[in-house]
Amino acid sequence: MTSTDIGAEAVRGIATRLARTLAEQRLSLRQAAAGSGVNRQVIADLLAGRSWPDVATVARLEAFAGARLWPVGIGVERDGEH
């Protein structure tokens, strides 16, 4: 389901990528929390769609996972203009 809310779409993309990355690397929420320094409940809430992460949280999770979580191209028109 897509939304007209660009923020919601970005967060949905982050959560989807994080869930996929954790599954591919066979990492638990506890392992992700310990390795990233992000509270386990914060990660669980993000994955469940109950909260929106701040930029520092996304950066920590990306660094730990070694994967881009922030969706590319959200809100950018085809000609590159916003």
**6-65: what fold?**
434 Repressor (Amino-terminal Domain) (1.10.260)
Place of tokens 């897509």: 2
| Residue % of the chain over a pLDDT of 70 | 85
Per-residue pLDDT averaged across 23-27, rounded?
97
How high is the pLDDT of residue 1? 55
**Residue type at 72?**
V
- 32 in Cβ contact with 38 (< 8 Å): yes
Per-residue pLDDT averaged across 47-65, rounded?
97
Report the predicted TM-score, pTM, of the whole model to 2 decimal places: 0.84
CB neighbour class for 65 (10 Å; exposed up to 12, middle 13-18, buried from 19): buried
- 17 in Cβ contact with 53 (< 8 Å): no
